Amino acid sequence: MGKITVETCEIEGLKVITPTVFGDARGYFMETYNYNDFKEAGIDQIFVQDNQSASTKNVLRGLHFQIHFPQDKLVRVVSGEVFDVAVDLRPGSATYGKWHGVVLSAQNRKQFFIPKNFAHGFLVLSDYAEFAYKCTDFYHPNDEGGIIWNDPDIGIAWPIPEGAQLIMSEKDPKWGGLAEYTEKYRK
């Protein structure tokens, strides 16, 4: 291995990956993904779709998941900085409803591996950010699910600057909370 450093999180399955950066006077080079290195680190997934989004400061996206076609995700920031969050929705998990957040930036080059059955979202901290992610299943537009970003039952400590006006899609502020999700999907 040696090309990546993997930190485990307090929620089983979540991992923060830092690639080795090779730099010189010309700039730098790094592998953002190498199947063999990730497999050796316990992330033995086949990714089938790559996505990238651009957002401005105070954009909050999430918390999203696919209901019947859950995806493992490997996320990173190409430009700027975000606070990235995963919420455990795995049935029977000892950490069900718990969250973990990590700052991802172009400077720290960290990546966040989020297994299936987690809700995912992020808040843009910089003036502008480009966010890239790999997924193990294709996007199914009729399979979208979500949980409201500020559900007190989850209690995410979003680093929202005082007085900031969040920018969200029309649907994100309308999602229900963890209790509604549990009642609807985890009976």
Radius of gyration (C-alpha) of the chain in whole angstroms: 16
Of 63, 74, 81, 88, nearest to 168 by C-alpha is 63
What is the pLDDT, as a whole number, of residue 184?
A: 85
pLDDT band at 100; cut points 50, 70, 90: very high
Residue numbers annotated as active site: 64, 133
Global confidence as pTM: 0.94
* pLDDT 10s digits, 103-143: 999 999 999 999 999 999 999 999 999 999 999 999 999 99
Domains of the chain plus CATH, in order, are: 46-185 (2.60.120.10)
* pLDDT 10s digits, 18-28: 999 999 999 98
pLDDT band at 3; cut points 50, 70, 90: confident
How far are the Cα atoms of 114, 153, 187 from residue 75, in angstroms, in the given order? 8, 25, 30
